[in-house]
């Protein structure tokens, strides 16, 4: 779909200027000549919106034309003269005539067109279905957070998002008790290992493997988008050392304690030397390792190349052959002790031995990429926000604004009556709206819409089952909230063209563009390829423009010395007279010594200095010394100037045929439709300062 869009945007390019392209600021002043200035801002046109162009019964105002012109002349204060604007208007007329023809042929009723336009509409509608202010705030917030790395610990008590109030309260009380213990002086890690429902907090025993030490709630360093949004917000909002109040995420309730905040490291590349430690290391092994660490440090101090030390000592067999090189990483990709050691290091600096759960590391900082500028980050952050739960803030704010704008009203008692008809079959997906058949009272209204209890009951029937909670009422209210969001957003979506001129104009651009693509494909592009008879006839008309120059079919015999050349010329003549191929002649001449090489081909003037030095006639030439070699040429045939074949220039001929078809099509359209340009309206654009 994207490819097609690009193609039709290219199609309507006007000598390097695209009618419908990216939005740009209007050109306000340009010069007609060195003495005269013109205004091209449609806002300066009279409110009556004078009509510039009429095609049959369609009227195009001057403001519409200038809006298109301004949108696609991107250079500020670009100079333009009257002739340029007249040419642009001429091309604009062609464009409008083509779209008019597409409408006459009812291309806009084709199912493929309707489907494709709907696909574009969904994309174009998105920016109009969010709260822009909230979105901008989220964007700025995300960028500000990206400039810092946070290290935090947490305790998790799991509870489902759709849990009943009773279950939610039980989880709340449990997490609050944990917080009281920590605030009262107990160690955070001890409490986390004891009660956190994040299994990584405790030691993990896996059969046949060494035990994995628990992190005691320590999640290490992370940055924006590494954690779920509510958790991220708590981590960035709370000061170091303070235990947060419980916050709820999709996992349950958390308490968070920030243990460190650092300027963002961005992306880092390091090399490391690892000495592995194991839980069952004996005192002798530990003592030997300590001695090795001292030995390595001394060699580092003595400037021994780090890569050599890695190859000699490192237990990381994957990175050792590469000098300890690790892939680029961010703060959340390594254990916290490893990351902590890197903060503050300079390029090519090597750390002291750093202990982690894996062993002891010597780390060399090779390179880093800091946080990009806001402008560089903006598009990526926007995409991440759109995929993240935080985007719901924008959606919720937008829906709340719509509720106020459209005077949303809901009857709570009527809602409760529908919910009262639900039973446990609703949890398994077997509930029928027939159970609410007696309920048909309107209970939702906004804008010019009204929905009944029956509408909601039918929605519930279509959206039941797979429940994560056994609390029917809680689940039903969640379904109700989702339904309300959907019907309000659908209503707003249906009114976008009515409410937003920008959206209306965009949809018209895409509609016209798709139609133009389809029709031009039929009338020009595919036609030029498929119409083999027409293409052949067109080739016959233009082939004189694509001529082969005079050429010779020749073979050059190249000798390193004059003696060999003189000795061989008679032999060459004799063998050629017997129609012996040139390659066989070379084999005969080189039977005892390699004295000759050949070069063959079709040559025009300027292609080969040797051929240019001979008279172009059939036969064998005299010996000519050129480029340090003694050359004898055999010209087997002389070709006079002749047209290139269709196969040789098919791409060029198709392109020219398409241009021809385009011109003929435009002539036909201009003869088929009545169109007029109001010259006085056009002249009104040119106003002197």
Residue 533 CA to chain centroid, in angstroms?
Answer: 43
Q: At what angle do helices 2-11 and 501-520 cross, to 10 degrees?
A: 80
Query: Among 37-41, 84-88, 522-526, which stretch is predicted with the lowest mean pLDDT?
Result: 37-41
pLDDT digits (tens, 9 = 90+) for 36-48: 333 344 344 345 6
Own/partner long-range contacts of 420-426 (Cβ < 8 Å, ≥24 apart):
421/457, 422/460, 422/472, 422/476, 423/472, 424/472, 426/460, 426/464, 426/465, 426/467, 426/472, 426/475, 426/476
**Do 154 and 256 fall within a single domain?**
yes
In eight-state DSSP terms, residue 648 is T
Assess if residue 143 is contained within a domain: no
Q: For position 646, what pLDDT does the model report? A: 96
Q: How far is CA 593 from CA 583, 596, 634, in A?
A: 15, 9, 22
Asked whether residue 566 carries a pLDDT value surpassing 80, the answer given is yes
At 635, which helix (H) or strand (E)? strand 629-639
What share of the chain has pLDDT > 90, as a percent? 79
pLDDT-derived band at 80 (thresholds 50, 70, 90) equals: low
**For 76-82, what is the mean pLDDT?**
62
In eight-state DSSP terms, residue 65 is H
pLDDT-derived band at 19 (thresholds 50, 70, 90) equals: very low
pLDDT digits (tens, 9 = 90+) for 400-410: 999 999 999 99
Alpha helices in 53-131 (DSSP H): 62-72, 82-104, 111-125
Q: How far is CA 412 from CA 88, 404, 464, 480, in A?
A: 60, 18, 21, 11
Q: How far is CA 257 from CA 153, 234, 333, in A?
A: 5, 9, 20
What is the C-alpha separation between 611 and 638, in angstroms, rounded?
12
Residue 5 CA to chain centroid, in angstroms?
Answer: 15
Write out the residue range of the structural domain in which residue 3 sits: 1-104+500-545+649-689
**Do 487 and 535 fall within a single domain?**
no
Q: Which of 215, 236, 263 is the last residue of a domain?
A: 263
Q: For position 686, what pLDDT does the model report? A: 81
**Do 567 and 440 fall within a single domain?**
no
Q: For position 445, what pLDDT does the model report? A: 97
Q: How far is CA 265 from CA 224, 344, 546, in A?
A: 12, 9, 62
Q: Sign of the C-alpha dihedral, residues 434, 436, 440, 442?
A: negative
What is the C-alpha separation between 463 and 457, in angstroms, rounded?
10
Q: Which residues 6+ apart lie within 8 Å of 351 measured at CB?
A: 341, 342, 345, 361, 362, 363, 364
In eight-state DSSP terms, residue 119 is H
**Average pLDDT of the chain, as a whole number:** 89
Query: Among 3-12, 416-425, 460-469, 636-645, which stretch is predicted with the lowest mean pLDDT?
Result: 3-12
For residue 604, give both structure tokens. Answer: 């025009």
pLDDT digits (tens, 9 = 90+) for 431-451: 999 999 999 999 999 999 999
Q: For position 209, what pLDDT does the model report? A: 65
pLDDT digits (tens, 9 = 90+) for 285-331: 999 999 999 999 999 999 999 999 999 999 999 999 999 999 999 99
Query: Among 35-39, 51-55, 82-86, 379-383, which stretch is predicted with the lowest mean pLDDT?
Result: 35-39
CB 72 within 8 A of CB 78: no
What is the C-alpha separation between 19 and 11, in angstroms, rounded?
10
Assess if residue 134 is contained within a domain: no
Q: For position 627, what pLDDT does the model report? A: 83
Residue located via tokens 């019907």: 487
pLDDT-derived band at 24 (thresholds 50, 70, 90) equals: very low
Assess if residue 377 is contained within a domain: no
**For 155-170, what is the mean pLDDT?**
90
Q: For position 210, what pLDDT does the model report? A: 66
CB 150 within 8 A of CB 236: yes
Return the higher-pLDDT residue of 248 and 210.
248
Assess if residue 484 is contained within a domain: yes
pLDDT digits (tens, 9 = 90+) for 92-110: 999 999 999 999 999 999 9
In eight-state DSSP terms, residue 62 is H
Q: For position 66, what pLDDT does the model report? A: 87
Q: For position 395, what pLDDT does the model report? A: 92
Q: Which residues 6+ apart lie within 8 Å of 127 measured at CB?
A: none
**Do 541 and 655 fall within a single domain?**
yes
Asked whether residue 117 carries a pLDDT value surpassing 60, the answer given is yes
Q: For position 83, what pLDDT does the model report? A: 84
Assess if residue 142 is contained within a domain: no
Assess if residue 34 is contained within a domain: yes
**For 61-76, what is the mean pLDDT?**
78
Q: Sign of the C-alpha dihedral, residues 619, 625, 626, 631?
A: positive
CB 338 within 8 A of CB 365: no
Q: For position 9, what pLDDT does the model report? A: 43
Whichever domain contains 162, its CATH number is: 3.10.50.40
Asked whether residue 673 carries a pLDDT value surpassing 80, the answer given is yes
Assess if residue 380 is contained within a domain: no
HSE-CB of 423 using CA atoms within 13 angstroms: 9
**Do 571 and 440 fall within a single domain?**
no
pTM over 0.75: no
Whichever domain contains 598, its CATH number is: 3.10.50
The count of structural domains within the chain is 5
Q: For position 68, what pLDDT does the model report? A: 85
**Do 43 and 165 fall within a single domain?**
no
**Do 156 and 302 fall within a single domain?**
no
Burial of 33 (0-12, 13-18, 19+ CB in 10 A): exposed
pLDDT digits (tens, 9 = 90+) for 475-504: 899 999 999 999 999 999 999 999 999 999
Alpha helices in 184-246 (DSSP H): 188-195, 229-237
pLDDT digits (tens, 9 = 90+) for 532-545: 999 999 999 999 99
Q: Which of 317, 342, 369 is the last residue of a domain?
A: 369
Q: Which of 263, 293, 310 is the last residue of a domain?
A: 263
- Integer-rounded Cα Rg, in Å, for the chain is 40
Q: For position 207, what pLDDT does the model report? A: 64
**Do 667 and 535 fall within a single domain?**
yes
**Sheet with 409-410, side-by-side order of all strands:** 409-410, 442-446, 449-452
- Three-state DSSP class for 227? coil
**Do 655 and 623 fall within a single domain?**
no
Asked whether residue 615 carries a pLDDT value surpassing 90, the answer given is no
CB 354 within 8 A of CB 333: no
Question: Secondary structure of 384-395 in the HEC alphabet?
Answer: HHHHCCCHHHHH
**Do 541 and 656 fall within a single domain?**
yes
Nearest in space to 217 (alpha carbons), one of 238, 187, 188, 250: 188
CB 342 within 8 A of CB 265: yes
**Do 207 and 252 fall within a single domain?**
yes
At 256, which helix (H) or strand (E)? strand 252-263
**Do 530 and 664 fall within a single domain?**
yes
């Amino acid at each position: 779909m994207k490819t097609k869009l690009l193609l039709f945007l290219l199609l309507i390019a006007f000598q390097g200027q695209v009618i419908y392209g990216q939005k740009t600021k209007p050109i306000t002043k340009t010069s007609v000549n060195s003495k005269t200035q013109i205004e091209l801002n449609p806002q300066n046109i009279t409110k009556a919106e004078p009509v510039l162009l009429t095609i049959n019964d369609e009227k195009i105002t001057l403001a519409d034309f200038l809006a298109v012109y301004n949108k696609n002349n991107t250079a500020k204060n670009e100079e333009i003269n009257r002739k340029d604007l007249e040419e642009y208007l001429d091309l604009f007329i062609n464009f409008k005539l083509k779209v008019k023809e597409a409408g006459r042929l009812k291309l806009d009723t084709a199912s493929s067109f309707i489907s494709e336009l709907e696909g574009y509409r969904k994309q174009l509608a998105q920016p109009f279905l969010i709260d822009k202010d909230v979105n901008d705030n989220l964007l700025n917030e995300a960028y500000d957070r990206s400039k810092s790395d946070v290290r935090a610990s947490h305790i998790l008590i799991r509870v489902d998002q759709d849990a009943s109030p009773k279950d939610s309260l039980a989880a709340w009380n449990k997490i609050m008790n944990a917080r009281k213990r920590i605030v009262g002086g107990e160690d955070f890690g001890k409490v986390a290992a004891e009660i956190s429902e994040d299994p990584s907090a405790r030691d993990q025993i896996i059969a046949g493997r060494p035990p994995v030490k628990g992190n005691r709630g320590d999640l290490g360093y992370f940055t924006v988008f590494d954690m779920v949004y509510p958790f991220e917000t708590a981590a960035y909002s709370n000061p170091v050392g303070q235990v947060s109040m419980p916050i709820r995420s999709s996992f349950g309730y958390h308490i968070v304690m920030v243990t460190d905040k650092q300027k963002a490291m961005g992306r880092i590349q390091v090399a490391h030397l690892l000495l592995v430690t194991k839980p069952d290391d004996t005192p002798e092994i530990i003592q030997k390792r300590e001695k090795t660490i001292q030995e390595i440090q001394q060699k580092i101090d003595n400037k021994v190349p780090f890569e050599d030390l890695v190859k000699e000592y490192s237990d990381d067999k994957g990175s050792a052959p590469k000098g300890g090189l690790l892939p680029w990483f961010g703060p959340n990709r390594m254990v916290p002790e490893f990351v902590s050691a890197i903060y503050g290091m300079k390029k090519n600096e090597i750390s002291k031995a750093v202990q982690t759960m894996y062993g002891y590391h010597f780390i060399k900082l090779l390179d880093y990429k800091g946080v990009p500028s806001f402008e560089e980050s903006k598009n990526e952050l926007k995409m991440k926000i759109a995929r993240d739960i935080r985007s719901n803030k924008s959606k919720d704010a937008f829906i709340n604004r719509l509720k106020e704008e459209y005077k949303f009203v809901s009857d709570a008692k009527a809602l409760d009556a529908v919910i009262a008809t639900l039973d446990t079959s609703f949890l398994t997906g077997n509930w029928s709206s027939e159970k609410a058949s007696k309920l048909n009272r309107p209970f939702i209204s906004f804008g010019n819409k009204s929905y009944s209890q029956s509408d909601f009951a039918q929605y519930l029937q279509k959206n039941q089952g797979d429940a994560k909670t056994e609390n029917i009422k809680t689940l039903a209210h969640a379904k109700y909230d989702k339904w309300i969001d959907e019907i309000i957003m659908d209503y707003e979506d249906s009114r976008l063209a009515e409410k937003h001129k920008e959206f209306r104009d965009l949809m018209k651009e895409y509609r016209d563009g798709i139609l133009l693509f389809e029709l031009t494909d039929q009338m020009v592009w595919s036609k030029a390829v498929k119409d083999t008879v027409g293409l052949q006839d067109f080739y016959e008309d233009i082939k004189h423009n694509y001529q082969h120059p005079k050429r010779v079919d020749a073979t050059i015999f190249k000798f390193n010395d004059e003696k060999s050349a003189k000795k061989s010329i008679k032999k060459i003549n004799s063998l050629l007279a017997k129609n012996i191929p040139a390659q066989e002649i070379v084999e005969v001449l080189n039977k005892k010594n390699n004295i000759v090489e050949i070069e063959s081909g079709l040559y025009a003037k300027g292609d080969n200095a040797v051929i240019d030095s001979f008279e172009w006639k059939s036969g064998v030439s005299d010996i000519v010394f050129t480029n340090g070699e003694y050359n004898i040429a055999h010209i087997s045939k002389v070709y006079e100037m002749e047209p290139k074949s269709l196969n040789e220039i098919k791409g060029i001929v198709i392109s020219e045929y398409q241009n021809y078809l385009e011109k003929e099509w435009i002539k036909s359209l201009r003869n088929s439709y009545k169109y007029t340009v109001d010259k006085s309206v056009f002249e009104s654009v040119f106003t002197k300062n």
